[in-house]
Amino acid sequence: MEQSIDVYPEQKGLGGMWKRINQQGKMTTLLLFLPPALFLFTLFVILPLGEASIYSLYKWNGIGELDNFIGLKNYERVAGHSVFSSAVVNTLKIVGVSLFIQLPLAMICALCVYQKKWSNTVFRMMFFLPYILAEVVAGLIWRFIYDGNYGLISSFTEFFGLEPIFVLADRGLAFTAILVVIVWKYFGFHMMIFIAALQGISKDLIEAAKIDGASTLQTTLLIKIPLVRHAIVLSVFFSVLGALQLFDLIMPMTQGGPGHTSHSIVSYLYTFGISRMHIGFGSAIGVILFIACVIFAFIYQNTFMNNKAGGKS
């Protein structure tokens, strides 16, 4: 007589339903770990953003009731403000300098000092030191260096008998001076990322390239750099997001001056939004910046940072 064996006996009632939902304990894990993360994300990201979005629709100075609803007027004001345009252009300049000067410089330095030798360790430390400094401190140091009366620049001008140059007070030079400091401050960080990636390249591959007849330059361009592509992609991501958020180097150096020519988007937000107590206006800038960051992060992550893209040559 044939006997049918029920491999998956149907369990009835609430207990059975729970067992079906909680296959291999997945639901337990989900219930255990998701709520705290969701709570913190909501508390520190979603709620402030939601609040800022609401404030951006009001003319509000941060004190008192939210009662002056002006719709999208704050956004219109931001879009029509020439200083905002200049801040956007400056931010794009920071992105450009980061990508085309800072990262290549970091890569060159990394290629020079990535091998494990004591002398390389010293150089690595020297190059990384500016990154350890707090932005405000670095800004103050460079403000002194650029000072036309007492700074390092002044000793040059004095030595050559030239007129003193006040770099940070010069509309044409101030932002370039900030760009120099940005490169100086952050290239060491990217260099460290590249060093870690370069040290991960198998020695055999470099030796195989040598045997295949590749010169040092060819080995670098055809083997090493393609093999640290993932690190470059990551560094570009950090660079662009860092550029979009740059603030605390600008404030001690120029405070966005002279004549609001050296603002980044964030320093513009702070100066015109927070300092002048235009919280609604500032919130509108914040929302715009957040959307820009999210769009960039989303597109970049999907284009360059997923595994499929990482596997492409």
Partner 1 sequence: MAKVEFHQVHKKYDQTAHIVKGIDLTIDEGEFVVLLGPSGCGKSTTLRMIAGLESISDGQITIGDRVVNDLEPKERDIAMVFQSYALYPHLSVEQNIGFGLRISGEDKATIRRKVADVAEILELTPLLGRKPAALSGGQRQRVAMGRAMVRTPSVFLFDEPLSNLDAKLRGSMRSEIRQMHERMKRTTVYVTHDQVEAMTLADKVIIMNQGHIAQIGSPREVFAHPNSKFVASFIGSPTMNFIDVQIAIADSGQLSVQLGDTQVPIVGDYRGQAGAVSLGIRPGDVYIDEQSGPFDAELLSYELLGASALCCFSLQGQQINAEIDAAIPVKVGQRCRLAFDLEKIHLFDTHTEKAVFTPQITI
Instruction: Using CB under 8 A, list all residues that contact partner 1.
Output: 202, 204-205, 207-214, 218, 222-223, 226-227, 229, 311, 313
For CA atoms 41, 57, 285, 289, the dihedral sign is positive
Quote the CA–CA distance of 293 and 240 in Å, as a whole number: 9
Residue with Cβ nearer partner 1 (185 or 224): 224
Neighbouring CB atoms inside 10 A of 157's CB total 15
Question: Tell me, what DSSP letter sits at residue 11?
Answer: P
Residue with Cβ nearer partner 1 (209 or 287): 209
Check whether the bond before 104 is cis (ω within 30° of 0): no
Residue with Cβ nearer partner 1 (81 or 229): 229
Cβ 301 to partner 1, closest distance in Å? 21
Cβ 228 to partner 1, closest distance in Å? 10
Cβ 125 to partner 1, closest distance in Å? 25
Cβ 305 to partner 1, closest distance in Å? 17
Residue with Cβ nearer partner 1 (96 or 226): 226
Cβ 111 to partner 1, closest distance in Å? 17
Quote the CA–CA distance of 11 and 34 in Å, as a whole number: 28
Distances (CA, A) of 274 to 8, 67, 282, 285, 304: 64, 19, 6, 11, 36
Residue with Cβ nearer partner 1 (189 or 194): 194
Quote the CA–CA distance of 76 and 74 in Å, as a whole number: 5
Cβ 311 to partner 1, closest distance in Å? 7
Residue with Cβ nearer partner 1 (68 or 218): 218
**What is the number of helices (H) and of strands (E) in the chain?**
18, 0
Residue with Cβ nearer partner 1 (201 or 251): 201
- The structure tokens listed for 56 are 């951006």
Cβ 108 to partner 1, closest distance in Å? 21
Residue with Cβ nearer partner 1 (224 or 278): 224
- The structure tokens listed for 49 are 């953003």
For residues 174 and 167, the answer to whether their CB atoms sit within 8 Å is yes
Residue 278, by phi and psi: left (phi above 0), alpha (psi -120 to 50) or beta? Answer: beta
Letter for the amino acid at 113? V
Q: Which of 65, 66, 41 is nearest to 53 (CA)?
A: 66
Letter for the amino acid at 33? F
Cβ 199 to partner 1, closest distance in Å? 16
